Amino acid sequence: MSKGILYDATLCIDCKLCERACAEKHGLPYNEAIAAEEKQSAHKLTVVMDKGDKYMRRLCMNCQDPTCASVCPVAALRKTAEGPVTYDASRCIGCRYCMLACPFSVPKYQWNTALPLVQKCDMCADRVAQGLPTACAAACPTGATKFGDRDALIAEAQDRIAKNPEQYVHHIYGLTEVGGTSVLLLSSVPFEEFGYPVHVDNQPLPMLTWHVLSELPQVVTFGAALLGGIWWITSRRQAVAAAEAKSGD
């Protein structure tokens, strides 16, 4: 069963315990200065943003068909059956194509080290594999971040919107975006106000490159045969011309 995270911004109190739990889980430093940073970075994999009394989390969406996993030339990024999109640092060459390609601009880079790696939320893949909730969900005191089966979370989100229609934007962000994501968001303010792209395709982006890449074997076979044929004709014509020139002498 595919797992997911439901973040309901209307329940969030900006306590940032999810940020702290995430840093501890991933062995990253956490202090007041880092808590004040409003941006995801290589040392801050999730962030709670605020606009007045409205809050919104940012974390890796852990897409159902992840763009990052499709573009990675060394398959360092992978979608697991349980839901998390994991990163194998030992494969990474540091090309940053995942950063460019991610529709949510999630992967971040260790810019200030000589041998940098990419960093991103991996939805606590090791905890999830053991049947545990993610560190952020376990730490959340209000239930704003909830871990569970993705299908059950979708049903619950729909239920919450139906019961309090005036309280929510009538959209579960992540239900259909780029073919769906393991992380689902509910909010009372439009998602674009917190920088979430709202004009993303509902089809998984990897199809955009795959429909070109999958044609390449045909292109190569056909092209090579065509070039070989042209060469055969032109060289044959040349041989005939040479023979004619000789007999004409």
> Closer CB to another protein, residue 132 or residue 208?
208
Measure Cα distances from 91 to 62, 74, 98, 108, 125 in Å: 19, 6, 13, 16, 18
Rounded-to-integer distance, Cα 166 and Cα 221, Å: 59
Site string for another protein, 95-134 (x = CB under 8 A): xxx-xxx-x-x--xxxxxxxxxx-----------------
Q: What is the CA radius of gyration of the chain?
A: 25
3-state secondary structure of 234: helix
Q: Which residue has the tokens 């991933």?
A: 26
Q: Does 74 help bind another protein (rule: CB under 8 A)?
A: yes
Extract the tokens encoding 30: 């956490």
Q: Which residue stretch of 34-42, 130-138, 160-168, 179-187 sits at the interface with another protein (rule: CB under 8 A)? A: 34-42
Q: Does 192 help bind another protein (rule: CB under 8 A)?
A: no
> Closer CB to another protein, residue 95 or residue 152?
95
Measure Cα distances from 83 to 20, 126, 166 in Å: 22, 11, 31
> Closer CB to another protein, residue 84 or residue 204?
204
Q: Does 94 help bind another protein (rule: CB under 8 A)?
A: yes
Residue 184 CB, shortest distance to another protein, in Å, is 20
> In one letter, which amino acid is 196?
Y
Q: Does 212 help bind another protein (rule: CB under 8 A)?
A: yes
Rounded-to-integer distance, Cα 45 and Cα 58, Å: 8
CA 248 to chain centre: 71
What are the φ/ψ torsions at residue 148 (nearest 5 degrees)? Answer: 175, -165
Tally: H helices and E strands in the chain: 9, 9
Residue 176 CB, shortest distance to another protein, in Å, is 15
The residue from 29, 91, 142, 167 that contacts another protein (CB under 8 A) is 91
Residue 175 CB, shortest distance to another protein, in Å, is 18
What is the size of the binding site for another protein (CB under 8 A)?
62
Name the site residues for another protein (rule: CB under 8 A): 39-42, 67, 70-76, 91-97, 99-101, 103, 105, 108-117, 197, 199-201, 205-206, 208-210, 212-213, 216, 219-220, 223-224, 227-228, 230-231, 234-235, 237-238, 241-242, 244-245
